[in-house]
Chain A
Amino acid sequence: MIVRVNVNGTWREADVWGGASLLFLLREHLSLPGSKNACEQGECGSCSVWLEGQLVCSCLVLAAQADGLAVRTVEDLSDPQGALHPVQQAFVDAGAVQCGFCTPGLIVAVTDLLERDPVPNEATIREALSGNLCRCTGYAKILDGVRLAAATQERSR
């Protein structure tokens, strides 16, 4: 079936099988492999995107359910010249990236958190990111990255 989705500001169209998830649409039809397929059951958050401005696991949304709606992915966060979004830069600076498979999902979740709560405390950060699994870092430098991003964004306000 044909689905038409506004992805990162541009309307895109693809012919997908009915059971295809939004994640599959993005990765296999729209050449946007930034969102990752680590578990495909909503446990790991590596597929996190915004659907109509809400943070969701794209593996749990049917492509068909996104028809006519706006989706924003990690690819939208850095500018066309490749300059990193402050959250991305903070992750690199804090050493929060190891294998990188969880990273795009975390970047999206952290960006979402800081938009809603610019100076989150430790408990808030941990609860907000409890849906993003990381196997490499033990989360320590991810927490550093979030705090660094929050501080950077505070300073530039």
Chain B
Amino acid sequence: MSTPPEVLELTRRGVGENTPRIDGGPKTQGRFAFGSDLWAEGMLWGHTLRSPHARARIRSIGIAEAVASPGVHAVLLADDVPGRRTYGLEFADQPVLAWDRVRYVGEPVAVVAAETPELARRAAARIEVDYEPLEAIVDMEAALATDTPRIHDHGNVLRHVRIIHGDPDAEAEIWVEGYWETGMQDQAPLGPEAGLAMPADDGGVDLYVSTQWLHVDRSQIALCLGLDDDRVRITLAGVGGAFGAREDVHMQIHACMLALHTGRPVKMSYGREESFLGHVHRHPARMWIRTGASYEGRLKVWRQRIVVDGGAYASSSSAVIGNASTFATGPYLVPNVLVEGTAVYTNNPPCGAMRGFGAVQACFAHEGQMDRLAAALQMDPVELRLRNVLELGDAMPTGQVLGGSAPTRRILERIAALPSIVEPATPPDPVLRPGGANNVTRGEGLRRGVGIAFGFKNIGFSEGFDDSSEARVRLELGPAGPVAEVHTAACEVGQGLNTIITQIARSELGIDDIVLHPVDTQVGSAGSTSASRQTYMTGGAVQMACRAAASRAFDRAAQRGVAIGDEPRLDDGWLVIDETPAVTLAELLDRPIEETAVFHHRPTTALDEHGHGEPHMQFAFGAERAVVEVDAELGLARVVHVDAVQDVGRALNPRSIEGQVEGGTAQGLGLALMEEIQVVDGSIRNASFTDYLIPTILDVPSVTSELIEEPDPESPYGVKGVGELPTLVSTPAIVAALRNATGHELNRAPVRPDDLVGLNGPVLGNPPPPAPDVPGPRAVPHYVAGEGAPS
């Protein structure tokens, strides 16, 4: 047995440290392989032909000329789909390739495989599709009218949610009305949709793809290819950002079909314009709110109508409206509530998951509404929130009682304690003023404004969904000592999950050498990289598997006569008993130890017909204060500084969390000031980075993050998910600051220069549409048989 050291070195680069990204080096060198970097010998390039019409019948499709084009190996249509012809996250309502009709501009109609991308494009241009254009339904409220044509057989409502709590007709001393709108935002990840499909000898296919959830991709792909799950093997390719855009299937089935048909590897990599057409977007929302309170500022009644535009297919819109509705009243205690939320179909591009997932829209509205109430009461906005903030043990409108940890009051107090903003002593460089280097001001018309916002978000999947995660850990003796291989199907999309997994394994196993097995479907599902859930869920699975492996090591020691006591642990390569190193881990690894664990979170329930239940498994809270500078005459703005205070439970890697706060804030800034997919008659008019503007380095503020650690007693290490909250609160904080600077109402995001100048008043909505008469509380297709039935 080895001689125990005098002093144990604490395990380095473990949980709680700012461990550098394990993939950072290769990424800086350009050596990290993204989906669009993949290459295989003999590979063909795939290309998609998409519908130019928002709504049309397809009379015929002629492919003879395309097939005869130079370098073409395949031209495939809907009839060539070997298995089920439709796919979808919740309902398989979306055609792999359209056959008799199209429902949105950009809907795939055919795919081509050719020797080069250019040859594939030229061949696709020769496909002749005879369309009969029909009148498209492009307004979400018009879609609700009874005489509007049906986009799907079961009508134009995907889901209606109704939440009723207390007495919505109760009295109040003061009432505030508000109409709020958010536009269609895009995830705009820099990495395009891309992947490589390789036909396998067993008649199956090996797919390498940039995605968010391998197993849900696989089940859809397998059904559409008519193959068993085990013949569709997926390995994660490097992901260049996701933010929800990769949750729905994009090129996967197309590439696999082409590969199986041609017998050659097929690569597909979308250009930027196609990327905009080829993934889902954030739901545009319209929200009508009527809030009643006492003169002391206690909320009494909250009545809200929400309509979100889900576009042509269901995607995850059912869950999004669930979220928008359950988060509608914000992190506040309201005794009497009525929320009616509807997700509709239109012939606009499909909407689905984007960071924040319905809670972004809700937060913009509830924070604007609270500021309006504060103004009516002549009360400080933070004070109003403190008087109504949810605390542990409070019931939310769904009846769910707030549990876990909830440092809500503390967050607001930290915001209130921020020092007042001070004008800088010397004027900043002109480039740092609104307008940047465009030379529009020498200081004229500049005013500063401050705004705050507070919000909360669910972590993990909701309404009864068991999004478990599996991890396999194999501990063995390598040439340099013990090494652990961790195998999960969890998708690293840039958030730093792989580094967290490595830190957890180091801390649990007390060794430094951790190797990550490629992320693939050879292990069970890790659930989606979304809902801010992976550190919690896959972190939890890795922790569980590591502890099981450690337990096996303890058993071996015991079998060899070591008295392991009550709380043995692994640290710095040793089995430590009562704080004394007893035996090296290496000595116990004459044979490898392998353990697999599946981690589940606490169960949640669906909402009933009153909107009651326990829909969410964890809540996280956050607030931001934004300082903006506005050129009031030109309506241009610059966000100067943001202070963020966020409830993180336990910071496993504080610097990575700051990265999420800073990045999420930038995306929220985009929604506040510049990002909107402009859809006219169903067609995206700005499908490029020239006209879909995302923030540049000259648009973003400095950000100070304060991470509040009040561990959640139920979660691994006490962690809470962190990725979405900053995106929720930054938009309303910035818009509140813009209101403060200009005095204008600003009830729509993104705010335009016209609005900041005051050329138009606030957006006037229509009267809220009545609740539709549809079955519920689940999504309508659950109650209807047929093509749209659950997948």
Answer yes or no: A and B touching, Cβ < 8 Å. Answer: yes
Whether B700 lies near A91 (C-beta < 8 A) is no
Chain B residues whose C-beta falls within 8 Å of the C-beta of A135 in the assembled complex: 188-190, 241, 243, 663, 666-667, 694
Given known A-B contacts A41-B689, A135-B190, A140-B703, A101 and B24 have beta carbons under 8 A apart: no
Given known A-B contacts A40-B272, A135-B189, A99 and B28 have beta carbons under 8 A apart: no
Cβ 8 A contact of B690, one of A41, A46, A122, A126: A41
Q: Roughly how many angstroms separate A138 CA and B495 CA in the complex, as a whole number?
A: 13
With CB as the reference atom, state the residue of chain B lying closest to A107.
Answer: B28
Instruction: Tell whether B510 is near chain A: CB-to-CB under 8 Å.
Output: no
Chain B residues whose C-beta falls within 8 Å of the C-beta of A125 in the assembled complex: 697
Whether B30 lies near A140 (C-beta < 8 A) is no
Number of A-B contacts (CB under 8 A): 199
Whether A95 lies near B18 (C-beta < 8 A) is yes
Instruction: Tell whether B662 is near chain A: CB-to-CB under 8 Å.
Output: yes
Q: Roughly how many angstroms separate A126 CA and B696 CA in the complex, as a whole number?
A: 9
Given known A-B contacts A92-B24, A127-B437, A138 and B29 have beta carbons under 8 A apart: no
Chain B residues whose C-beta falls within 8 Å of the C-beta of A73 in the assembled complex: 30
Chain B residues whose C-beta falls within 8 Å of the C-beta of A43 in the assembled complex: 688-690
Whether A84 lies near B29 (C-beta < 8 A) is yes
B-contact bits for A2-41, CB 8 A (1 contact / 0 none): 0000000000000001010000000100011111111111
Whether B659 lies near A141 (C-beta < 8 A) is yes
Whether A138 lies near B436 (C-beta < 8 A) is no
Stretch of B33-41, B292-300, B321-329 that contacts chain A: B33-41
Chain B stretch 498-519: residues in CB contact (< 8 A) with chain A? none
Cβ 8 A contact of A126, one of B656, B662, B697: B697
Chain A stretch 87-132: residues in CB contact (< 8 A) with chain B? 87-89, 91-93, 95, 97-104, 107, 121-123, 125-127, 129-130, 132
Whether B696 lies near A97 (C-beta < 8 A) is no
With CB as the reference atom, state the residue of chain B lying closest to A38.
Answer: B190
Chain B residues whose C-beta falls within 8 Å of the C-beta of A95 in the assembled complex: 18, 20-21, 655-656, 658-659
Chain B stretch 171-228: residues in CB contact (< 8 A) with chain A? 188-192
Instruction: Tell whether A74 is near chain B: CB-to-CB under 8 Å.
Output: yes
Whether A37 lies near B659 (C-beta < 8 A) is no
Whether B24 lies near A97 (C-beta < 8 A) is yes
Q: Roughly how many angstroms separate A77 CA and B272 CA in the complex, as a whole number?
A: 28
Chain B stretch 510-539: residues in CB contact (< 8 A) with chain A? none
Cβ 8 A contact of A40, one of B271, B665, B702: B271
Instruction: Tell whether B540 is near chain A: CB-to-CB under 8 Å.
Output: no
Given known A-B contacts A126-B432, A139-B666, A93 and B241 have beta carbons under 8 A apart: no
Whether B191 lies near A38 (C-beta < 8 A) is yes
A-contact bits for B236-250, CB 8 A (1 contact / 0 none): 001111010000000
Q: Roughly how many angstroms separate A93 CA and B431 CA in the complex, as a whole number?
A: 28
Chain B stretch 642-664: residues in CB contact (< 8 A) with chain A? 655-656, 658-659, 661-664
Whether B495 lies near A98 (C-beta < 8 A) is yes
Q: Roughly how many angstroms separate A27 CA and B37 CA in the complex, as a whole number?
A: 8
With CB as the reference atom, state the residue of chain B lying closest to A93.
Answer: B20
Chain A residues whose C-beta falls within 8 Å of the C-beta of B493 in the assembled complex: 99
With CB as the reference atom, state the residue of chain A lying closest to B656.
Answer: A95
Q: Roughly how many angstroms separate A102 CA and B32 CA in the complex, as a whole number?
A: 12
Q: Roughly how many angstroms separate A89 CA and B192 CA in the complex, as a whole number?
A: 26
With CB as the reference atom, state the residue of chain B lying closest to A87.
Answer: B28
Q: Roughly how many angstroms separate A103 CA and B116 CA in the complex, as a whole number?
A: 27
Cβ 8 A contact of B663, one of A41, A74, A101, A137: A137
Whether A130 lies near B698 (C-beta < 8 A) is yes
Instruction: Tell whether A143 is near chain B: CB-to-CB under 8 Å.
Output: yes
B263 nearest CB across to chain A (Å): 22
Instruction: Tell whether B591 is near chain A: CB-to-CB under 8 Å.
Output: no
Given known A-B contacts A44-B689, A98-B494, A138 and B28 have beta carbons under 8 A apart: no
With CB as the reference atom, state the residue of chain A lying closest to B437.
Answer: A127
Q: Roughly how many angstroms separate A27 CA and B45 CA in the complex, as a whole number?
A: 14
Chain A residues whose C-beta falls within 8 Å of the C-beta of B32 in the assembled complex: 100
Q: Roughly how many angstroms separate A70 CA and B34 CA in the complex, as a whole number?
A: 26
Instruction: Tell whether A136 is near chain B: CB-to-CB under 8 Å.
Output: yes
Whether A46 lies near B25 (C-beta < 8 A) is no
B183 nearest CB across to chain A (Å): 18
Whether A100 lies near B23 (C-beta < 8 A) is yes
Chain A residues whose C-beta falls within 8 Å of the C-beta of B495 in the assembled complex: 98
Instruction: Tell whether B458 is near chain A: CB-to-CB under 8 Å.
Output: no
A-contact bits for B667-692, CB 8 A (1 contact / 0 none): 10000000000000000000011100
Instruction: Tell whether A150 is near chain B: CB-to-CB under 8 Å.
Output: no
With CB as the reference atom, state the residue of chain A lying closest to B431.
Answer: A123
B268 nearest CB across to chain A (Å): 13
Whether B659 lies near A39 (C-beta < 8 A) is no
Interface centre among A31, A100, A140, A142 (most CB of B within 10 A): A100
Whether B431 lies near A37 (C-beta < 8 A) is no
Instruction: Tell whether B716 is near chain A: CB-to-CB under 8 Å.
Output: no
A146 nearest CB across to chain B (Å): 10
Instruction: Tell whether B496 is near chain A: CB-to-CB under 8 Å.
Output: yes
Instruction: Tell whether A67 is near chain B: CB-to-CB under 8 Å.
Output: no
Cβ 8 A contact of A91, one of B28, B188, B428: B28
A61 nearest CB across to chain B (Å): 17
Whether A34 lies near B30 (C-beta < 8 A) is yes
Whether A92 lies near B658 (C-beta < 8 A) is no
Cβ 8 A contact of B700, one of A82, A87, A138: A138
Whether A99 lies near B696 (C-beta < 8 A) is no
Instruction: Tell whether A60 is near chain B: CB-to-CB under 8 Å.
Output: no
Whether B272 lies near A41 (C-beta < 8 A) is yes
Instruction: Tell whether A55 is near chain B: CB-to-CB under 8 Å.
Output: no
Chain B residues whose C-beta falls within 8 Å of the C-beta of A31 in the assembled complex: 39
Whether B496 lies near A98 (C-beta < 8 A) is yes
Whether B18 lies near A17 (C-beta < 8 A) is no
Whether A38 lies near B272 (C-beta < 8 A) is yes
Q: Roughly how many angstroms separate A134 CA and B243 CA in the complex, as a whole number?
A: 13
Interface centre among B25, B240, B271, B493 (most CB of A within 10 A): B240
Chain B residues whose C-beta falls within 8 Å of the C-beta of A123 in the assembled complex: 428-429, 431-432
Instruction: Tell whether B269 is near chain A: CB-to-CB under 8 Å.
Output: yes
Cβ 8 A contact of A38, one of B192, B243, B429: B192
With CB as the reference atom, state the residue of chain A lying closest to B238.
Answer: A100
B480 nearest CB across to chain A (Å): 19
Instruction: Tell whether A65 is near chain B: CB-to-CB under 8 Å.
Output: no
B139 nearest CB across to chain A (Å): 30
Chain B stretch 424-468: residues in CB contact (< 8 A) with chain A? 428-429, 431-432, 436-437
Q: Roughly how many angstroms separate A84 CA and B495 CA in the complex, as a whole number?
A: 22
Whether B240 lies near A137 (C-beta < 8 A) is no
Given known A-B contacts A99-B191, A141-B662, A41 and B688 have beta carbons under 8 A apart: yes
Given known A-B contacts A38-B191, A135-B694, A98 and B437 have beta carbons under 8 A apart: no
Chain B stretch 4-36: residues in CB contact (< 8 A) with chain A? 18, 20-21, 23-25, 27-34, 36
Q: Would you mind naming 7 contact pairs between A and B with Cβ atoms under 8 Å apart? A: A33-B30, A78-B28, A82-B29, A91-B24, A95-B658, A97-B27, A125-B697
Q: Can you add 5 more A-B contacts, CB < 8 Å, to A136-B659, A141-B662? A: A92-B21, A95-B656, A126-B431, A133-B696, A138-B662
Q: Which 7 A-B pairs have the closest CB atoms?
A: A34-B30, A99-B494, A100-B27, A101-B240, A138-B662, A138-B666, A123-B429
